[in-house]
Amino acid sequence: MDIIWLIISFTILGFSAIIHECAHGWVAYKLGDNTAYYQGRITLNPLKHIDPFMTIILPLVLFFTSGFVFGGAKPVPINPYNFRDSEKGMMLSSLAGPFSNLLLAITGFCFFLLFAFLANKTTFNPRLLEFNITLFYLFIYINVLLALFNIIPVPPLDGSRILRYFLPWDMKESLDRIEPFGFIIIMALVMTGGFSFLNLLMSKLNYFLISLMR
């Protein structure tokens, strides 16, 4: 990946992560929690969402060690006590993030199909068509990866808060006790290949998208 595509990948990742966090805050706001709104976090201004580790350090480390770009934005603050139903409110606001990435991926897929169709049926500026196909391929790939990663039920990822809503009370407490160590668990899983199933899923996506260009 050359420097241009590295910059484009970072831009897509940053935009997608910001939409992800804004979705959390917007749904929380609609359900009665104004915390993110009053802190100015429901905004596309990237300066409000930059996290030194997740937004800068982690993507760079992953790129130079594995060749792909992945990371996230600073989590939006949510106060579950402001919801009429705190359990349901946390579940829905947590679900909003991965769902927003899924919607972005679907949007990108529509454009990907359009440019793949044009590339097979016309001779219009093949370099421009190739650029747009690659652009939307990355857009789909990054957003699907963000959605899949965040629904993994390990605290503090969104999946743990979605799962928590459906668990009996004693299991909720067990999940809560794990949360202070969640970041350590996630990093350990990353370093030991615990998320290798994501590679399998993403390779299936890669094969599917490439097959559409034939």
How much is the average pLDDT of 145-166? 93
Q: Catalytic amino acids?
A: 21
The residue with tokens 């990663």 is 149
The per-type count for the chain, helices as H runs and strands as E runs, is 9, 0
How much is the average pLDDT of 170-184? 87
pLDDT recorded at residue 188: 82
pLDDT recorded at residue 74: 87
CA–CA separation, 180 and 44 (whole Å): 29
Torsion, CA 173, CA 179, CA 182, CA 185, rounded to 10: -30
pLDDT of residue 1 exceeding 60, the answer is: no
How much is the average pLDDT of 129-144? 94
Full-model pTM = 0.90
